[in-house]
Structure 1
Amino acid sequence: MAAVVSAEEKEPPEAAMKKELGPAPCGSCITLPPAVAERYEPLEKLGEGMFGDVYKAWDRVGRRLVAIKRLSGRTDDRFVETSLRYFAREGMSSAPAAATPRARSDGDCFVVTMYAGPLNLRQYMRLRSVHGRPFHEAEVRDAMRQLLSGARRVHDAGVLHRDMVPENVIVDEKRDGKKVIYRICGFGVSERAARLDRDGSAPLASPSPYRAPEIFLGSQDYDGRVDTWGLGCIMAELIACSGKPFFGADLDAKVFEKMQRAVGTQGIVEWSGLQRLARRDLAAELREKGYATYTGCLQEVFPEEVLSEAGFEVLSGLLDANPERRLTTKAALRKPWFRRFSFGGCCFVP
C-alpha cells in the first residue's frame, strides 16, 4: 500500500546500490506539466512498470521527498496505454498527495505520493547478493509477515493486487540496520474481486515467473491466492538471495515447466477448476507432455539446513499448485512459523 511516512533523503542502501550498480537515470528525463513542475523537482528515476515510470522528487512546498508516478497516455515500445479507469484505480490505491488530470496532449497522468524508500525488493536482493549478505531465516520471516499482512488488508478490502513481484515492494532500511520496512505498491492491475475480468485484463495478472499455475492454464475465475502464489515466489527468492526470479526462464512455456518440476503437478491435476476451463483437454495434455508425472523437488532445493520445517510449511503452502489448497494470507499468518513465543503447548501470536 502507499507509504504514510517520509524517509530520510540519504540511506546507506541507496548509496551502496549507486556504487555497485551505477547511477540511476537523471530525473531531468521526465517532463512535468507546469502545475506539477512548479512544486516538484525531479531528482532521479526509481524504476518503471507496465504502465509508466516512477521518479524521486523534492516537494518544494512540503519540504520533503516524494515519488511521482507517470502513467503513460500512449502505447509505445515500453508502456501500455493508461486509461482513465486505470489512472483512477492507481490514484485511489496509492492515496496520492496530488494528482494531475489528463491535461497534456500526450495523455500522460501523474500521481504524487510520499517517498517510501530508496530501493525496490529486486534491487535490495541484488544489493545483498553483491555484498554477500544472504537473508537469515528470521529476516525472511519478518519480511513475509509484513508482506502477508499487507496483502491481507488488500484482500479484506475486496481487492486483488494481481502483480505481486519484487519490483512492487518498496524497501526502507533504517540507518541502524535493525529494522527493514517492506511496503506493497504497484496497484496498476489491481481489481475488485467482484469485477474480475470485466475489463479483459485477467491474462495480465503478474509476469510469467510470478504467475500462478491456474492463470497459466487460462483461468479467469481466481481469487486472492494468485497473490499468495506471487508472495511464495518472493519468499523463495529471499531464501535463495540470488536477485533473480526463482522460476525465471526466457519463454513462458519454460517458466511453466520449471514451476511444475519444482512444486509438482499433482496439485493442478487434482484442482476441480481444471474441468471448468474452456479447454477441457488440459489435464490430458499435461499428462501427455509428462508434466503430470512431476513429483516436485522443492524440499530438495530448500532442505532443513536452509529452511526450517516450519518455514518450509509456509513456503510449500504458498506454492501449492492447487489453488483450492494454497494458503490464503490469513491461513499463512496463523502458521507456527510466525508465532513469536512458545512455552509448552501455549503459543503467543503477534
Structure 2
Amino acid sequence: MVRGEVKAQSTFTRFSAMKREKKRKPDDRRPFLAHHRDLAGVDLRCSDVLRDIRKMARQERTPELRMARELKRSTEACRSIEDYEKLNRIEEGSYGVVYRARDKKSGEVVAVKKLKRETEKGGGFPMISLREINILLSIRHPSIVDTKEVVMGSTMDSIFIVMEFMENDLKRAMEASKQPFSESETKQLMLQLLEGVMYLHKNWIIHRDLKTSNLLLNNSGELKICDFGLARYYESPLKLYTPWVVTLWYRAPELLLGAKEYSSAIDMWSVGCIFAELLTKEPLFKERNETAQINSIFQTLGVPDENTWPDYKNLPGAKLVFTKQKFHLLRDKFPPSVLSEYGYDLLSKLLDYDPQKRITAEDALRHPWFSDTSPACNDMGLYFSCRNLRRRGFYLFY
C-alpha cells in the first residue's frame, strides 16, 4: 500500500467516525443519563450502588421523571456514616439493623438502617436492598417514613439508609398499653394508614409486609409506614410474583393458597388484620404455619364458595382439605360494644375473600365509618399527647 492510499484511508476513517458521532443522539428513554455529569464528584464507593439502582429502575419500569429525581437525590446523598454519631441500637430485622443516631452537623436525631449485605449469585448488590432503596428514594408522603439519604461506611459492605426517627412502633405501643385503642383512636390511626397505602397503590407500589411492627408511631399520634424490604412496583396486566411474602398472620388467603398473580388487594387484607388488632390487642388470625392459618381464617369467615370467591377452586392450595365451617362468625368477635355497624362493615370489606371485590384504600377512605358522628366513634378527647400516653401505660421507648 502506497503512502497516498494510507492517507486516504486515514481521512476516510476519521470522516466515518465524525459522521457516526454526529448521528449519535441522547437516549430519551433513559432520562437518568442526562444526570450523568452529576456523578463526577461522587465517591467511587457510591457509583456501584447507583449503577445497580439504575439497573433496578430499568427492570422495575418506574416512571421516568420519578427515576430522574431519585437518581439526583441518590447522588447528593452519598455522605459518610462518620457524619453521624451512633446513640443506641433499636432493633434488628430480616434485612438490616436499625440504630438511633445524631447528625453531627445539624444535631438532628435520626434512625439509621444498616443493610445486610448478602450478595446475589451473580455478584452485585442484593436485589431486595436495591428495591428498597429505589422505592424509598422515590416516594414522599406524611404517612410514610421519610428517607433522608443513603450514606456509606468504610467498605462497600457498609451501606446505610438514614430515615426520620419515630419514638415507637405500633406493635410495642399496643403491648405496653394496659388497654386496646378505643374505636375513635383506631379511626385516627386507620385514616393515616389508609392514606399512606392509597399513596403507594396510586404509584403502583405494593408493600407486601404491612403489619403492626412495620407501622411507626410518635408521641404526637402520627403513624408512618416503614420497612420496604419486600415492597415492589407492579404492573397492569399483572405479572407472576412469589406468594412467599407478607408475615403469616397478615397474609391474604390467596397467597396462603399459592396465588402468584396478585396486586394491591393483598395489602388491603393486611390492613384489615391491623384494623382488627387495634381493637383487641391480639392478631385476628394467629397460627404457626400456612395450613393452620388458612383454617383459622375459614373457621372465622366460613369456607368460600363460588358466590363469595369465584376463583377459589382454581388456586393450587384449594385442593387440600380444610374445615367445613360455612358460617360467618366475624361479628361474634367484634360485637357492637367494640365496633359500630359502620366499622364492622368496613372490616368485612377489607377481609373480603375475593381480591376483585376487596375494598381499595381509596374507597375505604370514603367509607361512612370515617364520617360517623355517634358518640362512641367521635370521642377524640384522649388521644396521643405524651402525658396521656404515660397515663394509659405506653412507654416512651427511646
Q: Do they fold alike, i.e. is TM over 0.5?
A: yes
Residue 207 of structure 1 is matched in structure 2 by 247
1:299 corresponds to which of 298, 307, 331: 331
CA drift of 1:103 comes to: 6.7
CA drift of 1:51 comes to: 1.1
Q: Give the distance between the partners of 1:45 and 1:248, measured in 2 at CA.
A: 29
Residue 4 of structure 1 is matched in structure 2 by none
Q: Give the distance between the partners of 2:213 and 2:235, measured in 1 at CA.
A: 26
Residue 371 of structure 2 is matched in structure 1 by 339
Amino acid at match of 2:92: E
1:125 corresponds to which of 165, 170, 174: 174
Q: Give the distance between the partners of 1:142 and 1:294, measured in 2 at CA.
A: 34
Residue 259 of structure 2 is matched in structure 1 by 219
Q: Give the distance between the partners of 1:209 and 1:68, measured in 2 at CA.
A: 27
Deviation string 1:46-92 (CA, Å, 9 cap, x unpaired) is 223321121111111121111111110028xxxx9855444433444
1:160–1:192 CA contact under 8 A, matched in 2: yes
CA drift of 1:227 comes to: 0.7
2:98–2:111 CA contact under 8 A, matched in 1: yes
Q: Give the distance between the partners of 1:227 and 1:305, measured in 2 at CA.
A: 28
RMSD, matched Cα: 2.8
Q: Which has the larger radius of gyration?
A: 2
Residue 39 of structure 1 is matched in structure 2 by 83
Amino acid at match of 1:297: L
Q: Give the distance between the partners of 1:204 and 1:334, measured in 2 at CA.
A: 31
Matched, 1:188 2:229: yes
1:95/1:171 CA distance change after superposition, 3 Å: closer
Q: Give the distance between the partners of 1:104 and 1:91, measured in 2 at CA.
A: 22
1:133/1:293 CA distance change after superposition, 3 Å: closer
Aligned to 1:253, what secondary structure does the other structure show? helix
1:91–1:111 CA contact under 8 A, matched in 2: no
Residue 229 of structure 1 is matched in structure 2 by 269
Q: Which runs of 5+ in 2 are unaligned?
A: 1-78, 120-125, 140-144, 375-398
2:265–2:360 CA contact under 8 A, matched in 1: yes
Residue 150 of structure 1 is matched in structure 2 by 196
Residue 173 of structure 1 is matched in structure 2 by 219
Q: Give the distance between the partners of 1:83 and 1:102, measured in 2 at CA.
A: 16
CA drift of 1:274 comes to: 3.2
2:293 corresponds to which of 247, 255, 262: 255
1:254/1:313 CA distance change after superposition, 3 Å: same
1:45/1:195 CA distance change after superposition, 3 Å: farther
Deviation string 1:178-227 (CA, Å, 9 cap, x unpaired) is xx1111111111111218997x8632321110000011111121121111
Residue 104 of structure 1 is matched in structure 2 by 155
Structure 1 range deviating more: 261-270 or 136-145: 261-270
Deviation string 1:78-133 (CA, Å, 9 cap, x unpaired) is xx98554444334445653221359725x342111221x111111111111xxx23
Q: Give the distance between the partners of 2:306 and 2:268, measured in 1 at CA.
A: 16
Matched, 1:240 2:283: no
Matched, 1:65 2:103: no
CA drift of 1:258 comes to: 1.1
CA drift of 1:151 comes to: 0.5
2:81–2:151 CA contact under 8 A, matched in 1: no
Q: Give the distance between the partners of 1:58 and 1:256, measured in 2 at CA.
A: 44
Residue 386 of structure 2 is matched in structure 1 by none
CA drift of 1:45 comes to: 2.3
1:108/1:292 CA distance change after superposition, 3 Å: farther
Matched, 1:114 2:131: no
2:82–2:153 CA contact under 8 A, matched in 1: no
What does residue range 258-273 of structure 1 map to in structure 2 within 5 Å? 258-266=296-304, 270-273=308-311
Q: Give the distance between the partners of 2:132 and 2:155, measured in 1 at CA.
A: 17
Aligned to 1:188, what secondary structure does the other structure show? coil
1:46/1:201 CA distance change after superposition, 3 Å: farther
Structure 1 range deviating more: 207-216 or 38-47: 38-47
Matched, 1:159 2:205: yes
CA drift of 1:269 comes to: 7.5
Q: How many residues align?
A: 286
2:243–2:255 CA contact under 8 A, matched in 1: yes
Instruction: Give the percent of matched residue pairs that are identical in Structure 1 and Structure 2.
Output: 31
1:181/1:64 CA distance change after superposition, 3 Å: same
TM-score under structure 2 length normalisation: 0.65
Amino acid at match of 1:172: N
Aligned to 1:38, what secondary structure does the other structure show? helix
What does residue range 83-102 of structure 1 map to in structure 2 within 5 Å? 83-93=129-139, 96-100=147-151
Q: Which runs of 5+ in 1 are unaligned?
A: 1-34, 175-179, 343-350
CA drift of 1:252 comes to: 2.4
Q: Give the distance between the partners of 1:223 and 1:81, measured in 2 at CA.
A: 20
Q: Give the distance between the partners of 1:267 and 1:330, measured in 2 at CA.
A: 27
Residue 135 of structure 1 is matched in structure 2 by 181
1:310/1:194 CA distance change after superposition, 3 Å: same
Q: Give the distance between the partners of 2:146 and 2:215, measured in 1 at CA.
A: 16
CA drift of 1:241 comes to: 1.9
Amino acid at match of 1:144: M
1:320 corresponds to which of 334, 340, 352: 352
Q: Give the distance between the partners of 2:155 and 2:137, measured in 1 at CA.
A: 18
1:202–1:220 CA contact under 8 A, matched in 2: yes
Amino acid at match of 2:250: Y
